[in-house]
Structure 1
Amino acid sequence: MTAQPPAHSPRPAQPAPLRASDDEREAVVEQLRDAAAEGRIDLAELDARLERALTSRTRAELDAVTADLPSPSPADSLPPLVVKGGMTGATRGPGRWEVPGRVIAHGGVGGVTLDFSRVESRLAEVVVEAYGDTSGVTIVIPDGWTADVSGMDPGTGGLKDETTSARLPRTPLIRLTGSGGMGGVVIRHPNRRERRKLESNPS
């Protein structure tokens, strides 16, 4: 009796490629712009890679666009920072502190100040979720950083954006969301007094 050859096991089905999101495409766009600013790719290659990134449908296609570039800062993996004003108020900064990808500020009764003026961040974007509550939230960002306040609800206290649109390379975009509440939210660059302190003590 002739022995039958062993039956071949069917190959396991390959998982479908994961679709890329708009946020993931935007993060790659920022990574490419940073790479061009650092001289890792020239402008012609930047244009070509931007087109590939914006037309990528899956994560695998998107990953291939930046496979030979440094990974984004590990600060992306930090947990969100929550700052609550409570009854007496709270301040983060103006000293140096590690900036995560998301910061949540509740003004409470005492108010909150987030001062980024002495920090350095290689993140492409930092989301600041601010709630003015009763006494408001003030956000101070260095010259050269820019802000997108289109996702912010001004509430009854209002939103005051005193930042400029001139963004320097390798600086994060502050994407402001949340609500002004009764106290309002202010985002600005350092004022004259703060600038004098920065100049006299830059460290």
Structure 2
Amino acid sequence: MADELEKREPNGMRASDADREKVAQALHKAMADGRIDVSELDERLATVYKAKTIGELTPVTADLPIEAPLAAQHQPALPNRTGGTPGSQVSVGVLSGFERKGVWTVPPTHTAVAFMGGGELDLSQAKFSAAHTTITCVAFMGGIEVRVPEDVNVHVNGIGFMGAFDNKIHEPDAGDDRPTVKITGLAFMGGVDVKRPKRRKRDRDELES
């Protein structure tokens, strides 16, 4: 019980891209104000973009003035993840490709097939019609990319045969009532990649100017 309560403490909550961006902006302002130099900025930004929890972000600006403690400001990026009318149960790319991204509602079960083609399932702005969702990916001489944001629990147990079913997340559940997505299936002479959403590339040239 104590372990469960600890996971729910604000500092143990998962950090979103918006949280990391807020800290990065505070660091840039601190450099502009002369509080830190370029090398310190670079070091702290590296810590920011690797941080997975609010607790890892908080010390980065502990000696700098910010509007309020990050943990107190934290709100889930998309608090209403569940609900809505389920969308299509199938995504297919045969000698072509498919793409599902933006705002869409994932049904309890969804099957994605790439046959000598490719596809992308981006859950960054998705809602889920059920608390537990199963996505079955079948890549036959093709590739499927599944992007799962930090505020969604993910379990991956697909099989690669002469191919790869690659889980790039490998992170424990958040321990709360967030939606859970199970990603399973088969990659035959092809590939399935499960990863976090893309982040904007930061132009570091200004640090050396």
State TM-score, norm by structure 2.
0.51
**Runs (5+) with no aligned partner, structure 1:** 1-32, 38-72, 197-203
- Describe how 1:7-26 pairs up with structure 2 within 5 A: none
Instruction: Give % identity.
Output: 25
- Describe how 1:109-124 pairs up with structure 2 within 5 A: 109-121=116-128, 123-124=130-131
Q: CA RMSD in A?
A: 2.6
Partner of 1:123, secondary structure, is coil
2:179 corresponds, among 164, 167, 172, to 172
- Describe how 1:1-203 pairs up with structure 2 within 5 A: 78=86, 81-93=89-101, 95-121=102-128, 123-150=130-157, 152-163=158-169, 164-167=171-174, 169-193=176-200
Deviation per CA, 1:131-156, whole angstroms, max 9, x where unpaired?
A: 01111111001112222123x22222
Q: Is the 8 A contact 2:132 2:181 kept in 1?
A: yes
Q: Distance in 2 between matches of 1:81 and 1:192?
A: 28
Runs of 4+ aligned structure 1 residues displaced above 3 Å come to 77-80
Partner of 2:41: none
Q: Distance in 2 between matches of 1:168 and 1:188?
A: 20
Structure 1 letter corresponding to 2:191: G
Structure 2 letter corresponding to 1:91: E
State TM-score, norm by structure 1.
0.53
When residues 81 and 103 of structure 1 are mapped into structure 2, their CA distance, relative to the original with a 3 A threshold, is same
Count residues with an aligned counterpart.
122
Query: Post-superposition shift, 1:106?
Result: 0.4
Query: Post-superposition shift, 1:168?
Result: 6.3
Q: Is the 8 A contact 2:163 2:187 kept in 1?
A: yes
**Runs (5+) with no aligned partner, structure 2:** 9-81, 203-209
Query: Post-superposition shift, 1:178?
Result: 1.2
Indicate the larger mover: 125-134 or 140-149: 140-149
Partner of 2:176, secondary structure, is coil
Q: Distance in 2 between matches of 1:118 and 1:74?
A: 13
Q: Is the 8 A contact 1:89 1:109 kept in 2?
A: no
Partner of 1:192, secondary structure, is coil
When residues 79 and 115 of structure 1 are mapped into structure 2, their CA distance, relative to the original with a 3 A threshold, is closer
Q: Distance in 1 between matches of 2:125 and 2:175?
A: 15
More strand by share: 2
Partner of 2:106, secondary structure, is coil
Partner of 1:180, secondary structure, is strand
